[in-house]
Structure 1
């Protein structure tokens, strides 16, 4: 069975990924307990199938020791931990980790960067290149568009509480949103496989929808009419790198031509050949509407 370590326990993805790895859906694929790296195990909530391991992200030898015997390392450390990313990659290479998942889990920025658009996502691209150069046998970058839950945070301009929405341009651009649970299952479905079967770039997408259609879907399921306003123009990509990181992502989502939030191809069938049902945006809206009643 495949042994796994996860770095980063406090973000959006730790619970869905660790939950998938320890679930009955992948029973027998992973050796339990899964190691979860943390600076202070006493501050973590005990979870069945998870062993919290104290590490020092500033000490490569500490991380190397914790990674001995580990086949797969999942890096979920946030963008504020760039130095920790480097330490994890160095330690993984030294410890003999076979598969390393980089801290991507977002938009596919490769065309964007190739076209010379400067964003904070360059740091993620540079790290993936660093990890590959370090000699880790398989380095995997997961691209999933945006977390589906962000749809309800007003990321794309929805303001359901007040019955409004403000969309960039004409609202016809497509965006990809993927449920956190589906991201977790996708990772668990691929991480145990032979290296030759694991892609370097794993693109998964739950729902691909235009902003206008997302408003119509919400209206249909909630019975609430949204007052939609349009900006009429798109935010220019030039100078986007000077904006707040989340604002940068919002601007990138306005531009389908970058393929950042809409993937012309994906690996959905590879990770999920009928193992589970994807949670669509329609499912998520239904749950939200039911909860609100």
Structure 2
């Protein structure tokens, strides 16, 4: 692992925990350096939260490299070729239109040895092409591109959804204020969830694992939970009865048909169908390597003030 220069793209909700853990682990190896590519405006920001992140990155000994991923591919190639490994934490902020494919192509053209693409999420291959979430097709294009060559080794980490999303009103499942839960698809429909902190921790473990993990999809998971189990957790932690309603797939698909560009409705359709959005914890890297991470119930205990909803 000597002389490894690691470039992380993005320092948002997932990027920060990933950088934190990579930087921590990199200190155990000589000559291993973590750099993060950020817009010049972000590096010199006056925004209080962003400023806090920039200060933390500097304290971690992470190098800040000004750059913009919307630049032409040739510019990205000239940046990327200086690094042995690239970890992409860009998220979908850039929307559709070939952005993930552009990044992957630039990584390959730059001759980077190892690539962790932005695939932190569901199992796109099980979901397949033509799903309600059109962004997923491009994720499959990226996988095909990576598999079509052998010069750049790649690792895809399937994480499921962020744990917090289950408890946030926008997802339309649990409403703590109204003490209601709406199961999407069915009460036995399951979803795998992991916190960004644990994704960061496990990404660093997988990155530095020996022998090197290469050309593989690696599954991780803090919890695999059904909507019925989520309702039980909410009731047991709040000590209150929750009103349980079910949105079956017909209702969910009609919702989407009436509002086809709605991002959340696309996701509700994917998670309601229940295909490729969960896997048994026994197959996860953390389970096999006995790495302790946070379950949905533990997250809810630690992060929600249940008293305030009573």
Q: Same fold (TM over 0.5)?
A: yes
1:119 to 118, 124, 133: 133
Q: Cα offset for 1:252? A: 1.3
User: Could you tell me which residue of structure 1 aligns to residue 271 of structure 2?
Assistant: 253
Calculate the TM-score normalised by the size of structure 2: 0.80
Q: Distance in 1 between matches of 2:281 and 2:189?
A: 17
Q: Find the aligned partners of 1:96 and 1:232 in 2 and give their Cα distance.
A: 47
TM-score (norm 1): 0.84
Measured in 1, the distance between the counterparts of 2:78 and 2:30 equals 20
Q: Does 1:63 align with 2:79?
A: no
User: In 1, are the aligned partners of 2:121 and 2:160 still within 8 Å (CA)?
Assistant: yes
Q: Answer whether contact 2:164 2:195 (CA < 8 A) is retained.
A: yes
Distance (whole Å) between structure 2 residues aligned to residue 71 and residue 246 of structure 1: 36
Of the structure 1 ranges 171-180 and 198-207, higher mean CA displacement relative to structure 2 is found in 198-207
Determine if contact 2:91/2:118 at 8 Å carries over to the other structure.
yes
Partner secondary structure for residue 289 of structure 2: coil
8 Å contact 1:104–1:143 — kept in the other structure?
yes
SS at match of 1:106: coil
Whether 1:100 and 2:112 are equivalent positions in the alignment is: no
Per-residue CA deviation, residues 173-205 of structure 1 (Å, 9 max, x unaligned), is 111111111111121111234676335212112
Partner Cα distance (2:79, 2:203) in 1: 21
Q: In the superposition, relative to structure 1, how do residues 29 and 169 fare at CA in structure 2: closer, same or farther (>3 Å)?
A: same
Choose the corresponding residue for 1:9, options 8, 11, 23: 11
**Contact 1:89–1:134 at 8 Å: present in 2 too?**
no
Unaligned runs of 5+ in 1: none
Contact 1:4 1:30 in 2 (8 A): no
Q: Distance in 1 between matches of 2:14 and 2:30?
A: 18
Cα RMSD (Å) of the superposition?
Answer: 3.0
Q: How many corresponding residue pairs?
A: 287
- Equivalent position SS for 1:161: coil
Counterparts of 2:29 and 2:307, CA distance in 1: 38
In the alignment, structure 1 residue 137 sits paired with structure 2 residue 152: yes
Q: CA deviation at 1:169?
A: 4.3
| Counterpart in the other structure of 1:185 | 201
Task: List gaps (5 residues or longer) in structure 2.
Answer: none
Q: 1:273 to 1:156 in 2, by over 3 A?
A: farther
Q: Secondary structure at the match of 2:199?
A: helix
Q: State the alpha-carbon separation in 2 of the partners of residues 152 and 169 from structure 1.
A: 17
The C-alpha deviation readout for 1:202-258, integer Å capped at 9, x for no partner, is: 2112111111111111211222321222235555769969442332221111123x2
Answering whether residue 20 of structure 2 is matched by residue 19 of structure 1, we say yes
Q: Is the 8 A contact 1:22 1:30 kept in 2?
A: no
Determine the structure 2 residue equivalent to 1:149.
164
Cα gap change, 1:133 to 1:209, in 2 (>3 Å): same
